[in-house]
Structure 1
Amino acid sequence: MVVGRLGFAGLLVVVLLGQQTAQTANILAVFSYSLGSSYVLVRPYIQQLVARGHRVTMISAPVSYMPDIEGVQHIRVAKLKELTEDLELFDFEAAIPTKWYEASFVADYFYNCSKLILEDPGVRSLLHNASAQFSMVVLGVAHTDALYGFAKHYNASLVGLAPFGGAWNIDFLAGNSAPSVYEPMSAMGFTAGLSLFEKWMNLIFISEERLVERFIYLPRQLELYKRHFAADSGSFHEMRRKFSLILLNQHFSLGRVRSNVPNLLEVGGMHLAQQPDPLSAELQGFLDGATDGAIYFSMASDMLEKWYPHDFHETMLTVFGQLKQRVVWSTKRRESEIKSNNVYMRRKQPQREILHHPNVKLFITQGGLLSIIEASYYAVPMLMMPVYFDQHKNAERMERLGIARSLNLHELTPEVVLEGIQEMLHNASYALNAKELALRFSDQPMKPMQTAIWWTEYVLRHKGADHMRINEQDMSLMQYYSVDLFSVLFGRIGLTALIVGFLAYTVVTIALRSAHYQFKLSVPVVS
C-alpha cells in the first residue's frame, strides 16, 4: 500500500512537471524604448516569465537603460542610445509650434526606433536564423507598428505593454474601436469635457489625432514593415488587429475609470514586484532623524531640467532653507549648492524605499505615471509640478482625488511653493485621502504582476486566445455603429418625409398663391 501511494505520488509529480514543461514557451520581447523609465515595467515582467520557466530572447536598448537579466538572451541595439542623446538636445518649445509639427517629430523618433531595431545586425541574424521559433512576441504597443511584423514572421501571438496606460489608439489595437472622448494619445489641450462645447472640442481633438495617425505615423511604419516583413499593406493592417493581450499600466482606483474589453488588462503597479533598492546607512539615518517629518523631491528625468525656469533650483533651495522638515532631493545638481543642512542631495535616489519611510510626509514630483503609482501605493500626498505630455492630466486626476495640489512650473516663487508645501503638510485631509486611496489600490484579488503573468500564460495555453477579442473586429465601422440601420430608418424614411414635405409645401404654396390671386380679383379698383 505504501509503495502504491509512493508510486501514485511519483506519477503525480511527473504529470505536474510534464504540464509545467508543456506550458513553457519561447518568447521574443522587443522593446525600442530609448529612455530608462519604461524598462522599470519591463524588467520585473521579463524576470517573472523566466522564473516561470519560459525561454526569453530580448531585443532592447544598451545595458545602461536595461540591465542584463539572468536567463535571458539579450540582443542589444546600441544605436538606440543615440536617439536619447539627440532627444536631450532637442528644444521642443522652440521647434514644435503646432500639433502637426509635434506629430512629425514624434513620428520621426518612433520611425528611427523601429528602423534601428530592424536594421541591427544581431536582429537581422535572428530573423534569418531558420531554427529560431517563438510562440509569443511581447513589445511596446504604441507607434512602432512595423515591429508587429515579428509576430507575423514567427506566426506568434502578439502581446503589448502600454507604459502610459490606455488611449483610443490602443483601444483600436485591442479590437475596441468605439471612439473615446476622454482618452487621447496626447493629453495636452484636452479638457474634462463637462460642457457641451468642451465635448465637441474633445471630439475634434480625437478626430485630429486619428488624422495624424493615419497620415503621419502609419505611412512610415508601413514602409518599414513592407521592407522587412511583407510587401502588401493588407498584412500590415491585419497585424495591427492581431493583439491577443495588452497590459495597461494603470488601475481604475487611481481616478482613470474606463471600459475595457477582455484583452485590455489593467496591471498598474506590476513593477512593484521588483525588489526596491535599499536605503544607504547615511540616508537611513537622515530620514530616521527627521523628527518634524521629511519631504522627497524628484522631477524624475534629467532631460526635463532644460524646461525648468532659469531660477527654479534657487527657488526650491530658498524654500527648503525655511522648512523644519528634512528634504531628500534627487537631482544632478552639485552638493556644494546646498545652503541648508536639512537637504540631502544626490543624483540617484532609491525612490520607493524613500516613499515607504514613515517619516516622509510629502512627495514633490513632476507627475509621471510611475511616480504617481508609487506614491499612491505608499500613501504619500503629492505637490505636483507637471512639465509635459501626460503629467498635466495626471496632476488633474490626483487633485480630484484629494491627495495632491498642482503648481504652475512657470509661475513659481518661493512664497507660492512654501504656501503649497505648508498647505499639504498641515491640512490632514490630504494624508487621509492618500491612505484611503492606498487601501483601494492595494485591494485586488491578485497582485498586478500575478495578473499580468497569469493572462500572458492564458494566451499561450489557448494559442493566441482569439476568443478574447470583441467581435467588432470583423465588423465595418458602419456595421458597428449601426449606420446601416440608421440609413434605413433615417434614409428611406427621411427621404419619404422629405418628398411628402416638399409636396405639401408645393401644394400649400400653390393654394396660398391661388387664394391671394382670388382675393385681388375680389377687391374693387379705386379710380
Structure 2
Amino acid sequence: MKIAKILVALLTLVICKRSTQAENILGIFSYTFSTPYKVVIPYIKALVHNGHNVTIISSISFLPDIDNVRHIRVGALDRLREIVLTFDHSEWSNSKWKESLVSCKFHYNMSHAILSDSGVQSLLQDKSEHFDMIVVEPTHTDALIGFAVHFNASLVGLSTFGFSWLTDHLAGNSAPSVYKPVKPLGYSYGNSLLDKWNNWIYIAEEWMIDRLLILPGQVELFTQFFHLPSSLLLERRTSYSLMMINTHFSLGRVRSNVPNVIEVAGLHMAEPSEPLEPELLDFVNGAEHGVIYFSMGMEILTAWLPKTMKQKMLQTFSQLKQRVVWKHDVHTMPNKSDNVYLTSLAPQRQLLEHPNMKLFITNGGLLSTIESIYSGVPMLGMPIYFDQFDNVERMVKVGIARKLDINNPTEEQLMSNIKELLENPIYTLKAKEMSKRFRDQPTSPIESAIWWTEYVLRHKGAPHMRMTDQDMAFVPYYKLNIFSVLFSRIAFSAFVVLLVCIIVVNFLLKEFQRNAETPSVLYPSN
C-alpha cells in the first residue's frame, strides 16, 4: 500500500512538472506547396507530444489536421498557388533579377494573405491570446515577425530549404566563408580568386535585392497590420533565438555555426513512410538488373519540363536492361516500353531504400537529396530552379552524382551518364559511405529540434546563445577603431605640417615673383 502511494505521488509530480513546462507556441507557415510541410508536420507532432499548446497558421490544402493542434486556415494561400501554376517559368528562370522580381511579389502576397485573413486578425485582436514562441520560415516573409513583437515572444526560424547567407545573417552567423546564395543561378563553385570575387559580387547583389526589393514591402505590411514603427521590425529581424536549418555537415559542406544555429537535416523522416503497393512491389522485386527511379518532384514541375523531354527519356529507358519507376501524373503513355512503370503516388523513401534500387534521376530537391543520401543511392541531377542547382552541384562535388542541363539533353548524354553511374562502382561506394556518416548521429534530427526548441523556452529566449553585433562587427573585433584614432592623429599632424609647408612655399614663390617683376636700375656707361 505504501509503495502504491509513493508511485501515485511520483506520477502526480511528473504530470505536474509536464503541465508546468507546457508552453504556447504559434507556427506561421505561408507555404503554397506540400513539400515544406513534410518538414513541419513531424516537428509540430513532437511539440504536441511533449505537452505544448500549438496553434498553426497555414494554407488549407497542404497541411492536414493534426490532433490537439488549433489550425487557422488561410484560403488566399491556396489561391496564390493557382496563380503560380500559370507562370511561364521559362521567361524568368534564366535571369536572377527577373526571378527576384517574381519572388518579391509572390512573398509580399504570401505575407499579405496571412495578415489580412479574418481568422488571423481575430487572433491578433484577442487580448486573451498569449504565445511564448513564434516559429516561422525565415526567408523573405519578414512581416510575419510582427507576431513575435505583438506577443512579446521568442522568435524561432525553421528553414525547410536549408541555409543561405540570409539565414546566417538573420541568425547572427557572420562567417563569409560559409555563405551561399538564396538563388544560386550564376553562382560560381570554383576556388580561384576570380570565382571568389564573382561570388562576393553575387552575394552583394542579393543583399541589394533583399534590402531594396523585398524588405520595403514587408516593412509596409508590418506597419500597416501591426501599427508599430518599422524600426521594431528591423531590430527583431536579426534577433532569432534559434535557427533550425535543413542541412547537416555530413551532406557535403561543413559550416562554422554559432550556438543558435542547429542542423536538423532529415527532420521529415521522423514520419513513417508509406509501403509500396503490391503491383509496384512485384515490379521492383522482379528487377534482375536493378531499378532506376525517375521523379522530378512536385506536380508544378511537370508543366515546366521541356516538351521533348518525355520522348527522350522514353527512348533512353527502352534501351536499358534495368527497370524504371517513373513518377508521372498519368498512368498511360504512348510508346512506353515494358521496363517502365508509371505511378503518380510513388512512396519515394520505400523505393530508395529497396535493395534493388541502383539510381535516382531527380531534379535535386532538398528532401529528395537527403532521402537519396540516407539510402546510399547515386543520383543523376537535372535541376530546374532555386536551391536545386546548389544541391546537385554539391552532390557532384562529393562524387555521388552527375549533372545534366534539363533544357537540352540529348539521348546520347542521357545514356552515357546513366551508364557511368550504373557501371562505375565508385558512385555507389561513395553514396554508401555518405549514408553511413549521415546516419551516425548521437540523436535523431527530430530529437535535436525539439530539445533545442525547449531549451529556448526554458531559458526565456536564450539570448546567451546569440552572438551580439559588438562581438562580430568587423571594426571593433579587429580593433580597427584604435588604429583609426592613432592614424587619424598622425594624419592630422601630417596635414598641419603639409599646410604650413604649402603656406611657406606659397609665400616664398610670391616674394620671388615680386622681386622678379621690380625694374632694375640702369647706370650710365663711362
In the superposition, the TM-score normalised over structure 2's length comes to 0.91
Structure 1 residue 184: deviation in Å?
1.6
Letter in 1 for 2:107: F
One-letter code aligned to 1:268: A
Cα deviation code 1:351-373 (max 9, x no counterpart): 11110111111100011111110
Once residues 497 and 274 of structure 2 are traced to their aligned partners in structure 1, the CA distance between those partners, rounded to angstroms, is 77
- Shift in alpha-carbon separation, 1:502–1:440, aligned structure 2, 3 A: farther
Instruction: Flag the 1:309–1:272 CA change in 2: closer, same or farther, 3 A.
Output: same
2:520 corresponds in structure 1 to: none
Tell me which of 354, 357, 362 is aligned to 2:354: 357
1:277 aligns with 2:274: yes
Contact 1:193 1:202 (C-alpha < 8 Å) held by counterparts: no
- 1:375 deviates by 0.2
The alignment status of 1:301 with 2:312, answered yes or no, reads: no
CA–CA distance in structure 2, aligned partners of residues 265 and 475 of structure 1: 19
Task: Out of 452-461 and 490-499, give the one that drifted further.
Answer: 490-499
Superposed displacement of residue 495, structure 1: 6.4
Task: Provide the C-alpha distance between the structure 2 equivalents of 1:421 and 1:499, rounded to a whole number of angstroms.
Answer: 74
Q: Distance in 1 between matches of 2:283 and 2:11?
A: 52
Out of 127, 135, 141, the position equivalent to 2:132 is 135
Compared CA separation, residues 20 and 190, structure 1 to 2 (3 A): same
SS in 2 for 1:409: coil
Partner of 1:88: 85
**Distance between the aligned counterparts of 2:31 and 2:498, measured in 1?**
61
In structure 1, the partner of 2:105 is: 108
1:260 to 257, 264, 270: 257
The SS at the match of 2:241 is strand
- Deviation per CA, 1:183-232: give whole Å up to 9, x if none: 12211111125111111111111111111111111111001101111331
Deviation at 1:455, TM superposition (A): 0.4
Residue 317 and residue 55 in structure 1: after superposition, are their counterparts in 2 closer, same or farther (change >3 A)?
Answer: same
Residue deviations 1:146-191 (CA, integer Å, cap 9, x gap): 0011111111111111112111211121123444564122111111
| 2:24 paired residue number | 26
Shift of 1:104: 2.1
- Letter of the 1:137 partner, please give it: I
Show structure 1 runs of 5+ residues with no match.
508-527
Aligned equivalents of 1:238, 1:7: Cα separation in 2: 53
Show the counterpart of 1:511: none
Q: What CA deviation, in whole Å up to 9, does each residue of 1:433-474 have, x standing for no partner?
A: 111000100111100110000000111111111111113368
Partner residue, 1:49? 47
Task: Answer whether contact 1:181 1:199 (CA < 8 A) is retained.
Answer: no
1:91-131 per-residue CA deviation (whole Å, 9 max, x = no partner) reads 23325774333322211110100000001111111111222
Distance (whole Å) between structure 2 residues aligned to residue 12 and residue 350 of structure 1 = 44
For 1:122 and 1:473, locate their aligned partners in 2 and report how far apart those are by CA, in whole Å.
41
User: Counterpart of 2:59?
Assistant: 61
**Contact 1:27–1:137 (CA<8 Å) still a contact in 2?**
yes
Q: Does 1:195 align with 2:192?
A: yes
Q: Amino acid of the residue matched to residue 16 of structure 1?
A: V
Tell me which residue corresponds to 2:396. Answer: 399
Cα distance, 1:157–1:315 mapped onto 2, change above 3 Å = same
Is contact 2:89-2:304 (8 Å) kept?
A: no
Which whole-Å CA distance do the structure 2 matches of 1:482 and 1:163 have between them?
38
| Corresponding position of 2:517 | none
Contact 1:34–1:80 (8 Å) recurs in 2: yes
- Note the C-alpha offset of 1:270: 0.9
How far apart in 2 are the matches of 1:216 and 1:488? Answer: 37
Which stretch has the larger CA shift, 141-150 or 174-183?
174-183
Aligned mate of 1:175, from 172, 175, 178:
172
Task: Measure, in 1, the Cα distance between the counterparts of 2:93 and 2:324.
Answer: 36
- SS state at 2:70 partner: strand
Is the Cα contact below 8 Å between 1:335 and 1:346 reproduced in 2? no
Gaps of at least 5 residues in structure 2 are 505-526
Is contact 2:377–2:428 with CA below 8 Å preserved after alignment? yes
Displacement of 1:426: 0.9
**TM-fit CA distance, 1:486:** 4.3
Relative to structure 1, the CA distance from residue 315 to residue 128 in structure 2 (aligned partners, 3 Å threshold; closer, same or farther) is: same
> CA shift at 1:257, angstroms?
1.4
1:383 paired residue number: 380
2:11 to 1, 13, 33: 13
Q: Distance in 2 between matches of 1:7 and 1:491?
A: 77
1:158 aligns with 2:155: yes
Quick one: distance in 2 between partners of 1:490 and 1:410?
57
Instruction: Quote how far apart the aligned CAs of 1:302 are.
Output: 2.5
**Which deviates more from structure 2 when the two are superposed, residues 9-18 or residues 155-164?**
9-18
1:522 alignment counterpart: none
- Contact 1:295 1:363 survives alignment (8 Å): yes
How far is the alpha carbon of 1:408 from its aligned partner?
A: 1.7
The structure 1 residue matched to 2:325, chosen from 325, 328, 339, is 328
CA distance, structure 1, for counterparts of residue 501 and residue 381 of structure 2 = 64
Distance 2:36 2:120 in 1: 21
Contact 1:368 1:394 (8 Å CA) reproduced: yes
Looking at structure 1, the residues matched to 406 and 93 of structure 2 have their Cα atoms a distance apart, in angstroms, of 19
Match of 1:512 in 2: none
- Shift in alpha-carbon separation, 1:453–1:415, aligned structure 2, 3 A: same
Q: Deviation at 1:88?
A: 1.5
Count, aligned residues: 505
Aligned to 1:438: 435
CA contact (8 A) 2:96 2:185 kept: no
**Alignment pair present for 1:119 and 2:116:** yes
**What is aligned with 1:36?**
34
C-alpha distance in structure 2 between counterparts of 1:40 and 1:179, whole Å: 30
**1:371-409, Cα deviation, whole Å (9 max, x unpaired):** 110000011111111112121221111111111111121
Match of 2:372, SS state, is helix
Question: Per-residue deviation at 1:8?
Answer: 3.8
Q: Do the aligned residues in 2 keep the contact of 1:57 with 1:75 (CA within 8 Å)?
A: yes
Displacement of 1:333 after TM fit? 4.0
Q: Is the CA contact (8 Å cut-off) linking 1:38 and 1:163 kept in structure 2? A: yes
Q: Which moved more, 1:99-108 or 1:256-265?
A: 99-108
